[in-house]
Each structure stands twice: as C-alpha cells, then as structure tokens.
Amino acid sequence: MQPGLYHILFISGALFFTGVYGFLTRRNLITMLMSIELILNSVNLNFVAFNKYVWPGKMDGLFFTLFIIAIAAAEAAVAIAIIINLYRSHKSIDVENAEDLKY
C-alpha cells in the first residue's frame, strides 16, 4: 500500500499536537523549545506532502520547508541564548519562574 496524503497529514497532525502538548505542559524551557521544533517539523511535513500530492509540478512547498528549517535553526540559536541569559539571572530554566512581565 502506497502511503497517501491522509497518512502523512495524520502523522503531521499527531506530531503537531504532540508538540503543542509538550509546549503547554513542560516547565523546562529546553523541552518547550524542542516542542516548538516538533510543531515546526509538523508544518514542514505538511508543506512537503501538499506539494507532492496537490501541486506535484511546483516547488513552493519545498522552498518553504527549506526556509523554515533555516529559520528554525536561527530561532533555536536565539532561544537558547535567551534561555542561557535567563538561567544566569534566575538560576533556573523553569518557565514558571520567568513571569516578570506580568501586569
């Protein structure tokens, strides 16, 4: 059996919600960052799948995916920098402790 569009969408959907679940429940900032990566990758999967099955002649989806991978790398760098700084000031990378911006 050839895997069809729906199979891939199912996987990417599962991946996306796993990521969302992880982002909402984890307290560790690193884990949250990893969850974001999962979400981004689920989006990448969607792009690639839609490109292949809906507009096979085009390359837009692939390019978007490449962009997202590049941006995700940059984002990870920035995010880790922020996390390190946070750790320096708060001695913790627990997100519960980083609520100085309230009210």
Q: Is residue 100 near other proteins by the rule CB under 8 A? A: yes
Tell me whether residue 32 or residue 45 sits nearer to other proteins (CB atom). Answer: 32
Please give the angle made by the CA atoms of 28, 32 and 35, to the nearest 5 degrees.
145
Q: Is residue 78 near other proteins by the rule CB under 8 A? A: no
Given candidates 11, 23, 31, 62, which one binds other proteins under the rule CB under 8 A?
Answer: 23
Those residues with Cβ within 8 angstroms of residue 66's Cβ, 6 or more apart along the chain or in another chain: none
Smallest separation, CB 30 to other proteins (Å):
14
Q: How far is CA 64 from CA 27, 74, 103, in A?
A: 31, 15, 37
What are residue 9's DSSP bridge partners?
A: none
Q: Is residue 98 near other proteins by the rule CB under 8 A? A: yes
Write out the residues near other proteins by the rule CB under 8 A: 20, 23-25, 32, 95-96, 98-103
